[in-house]
Amino acid sequence: MDTQALALALPLIGWASHTALLTHRLATARRDPLTGLRTRAGWTALAERIIRRHPDAVVLLLDLDDFKNLNDSHGHAAGDVALAVTAERLATWCGRHGIAGRLGGDEFVAIARQALDLESLHRSLRQPVAYAGRRLPVSVSVGSCHVKDLPVRSLSDALATADSAMYADKGKAGRRGTRPLSR
C-alpha cells in the first residue's frame, strides 16, 4: 500500500473505530449492568412502540417487597442475587412476546404484546432464591394495566395504572412485606 492510500485510509479507520466504541457505549448504557435488562430509557422507547402497534398490550410494574430487610439481613450480595434472579424470571416470562426492564433499585417493568399468563409470573416470582446454600424467600408485588382498557393508549397512563395496581397488591392482607398505602 502506498503512503498516499495509507494517509487516506487512516482517518477512515479511526472514524470507524470511534463509531464502534460509541455504539458499544450507547448499547451498554441501555442495559442495567447487574441484571442485563434494559434501563428506563431503553425500555421506554421500545414500550411506546409496542403500545402503538399492539392494542392488546399489557404493562406491568413490579417491586420487591421488603427488599431493604433482605439486604440488611443477608447482605447486599444476597440482594443483588435476588435482583438478578427476579430479572431473569421476568425476562423468561416475557419471552419473545415482550420486553423487561429495570427502573432502578428493586423496581422492574415489563410490557407484553398481548396478555400473557400473569398467574404463572406470580408463581415464578414467589419461588425462593438460592444464595450461599440457603433459600431466601422473595415476595414481589405486581401491578398490571391492559392498554385496551385506557381511554387514551399512552405509556405514562399505563404505568400510572399499573403503579396503582401494584400498591393495591402490596396492601393485600396476608402478604409478606406489605406496607400501608400512603401516596
Helix-then-strand count for the chain, H and E: 6, 6
Q: Is the pLDDT of residue 21 over 80?
A: no
pTM for the model stands at 0.78
Q: Which residue has the cell 434472579?
A: 85
pLDDT digits (tens, 9 = 90+) for 35-82: 999 999 999 999 999 999 999 999 999 999 999 999 999 999 999 999
For residue 151, the SS3 value is coil
What residues contact 73, with CB distance under 8 A and at least 6 apart? none
Calpha distance 73→1 (Å, rounded): 65
Calpha distance 97→53 (Å, rounded): 13
What residues contact 150, with CB distance under 8 A and at least 6 apart? 157, 158, 161
Calpha distance 94→40 (Å, rounded): 17
Of 84, 76, 68, 61, which is closest to residue 170 (Cα–Cα)?
Answer: 61
What residues contact 81, with CB distance under 8 A and at least 6 apart? 129, 131
Q: How confident is the model at residue 156 (pLDDT cuts 50, 70, 90)?
A: very high
How far, in Å, are 12, 18, 148, 181 from residue 88 at the CA level? 40, 33, 27, 28
For residue 152, the SS3 value is coil
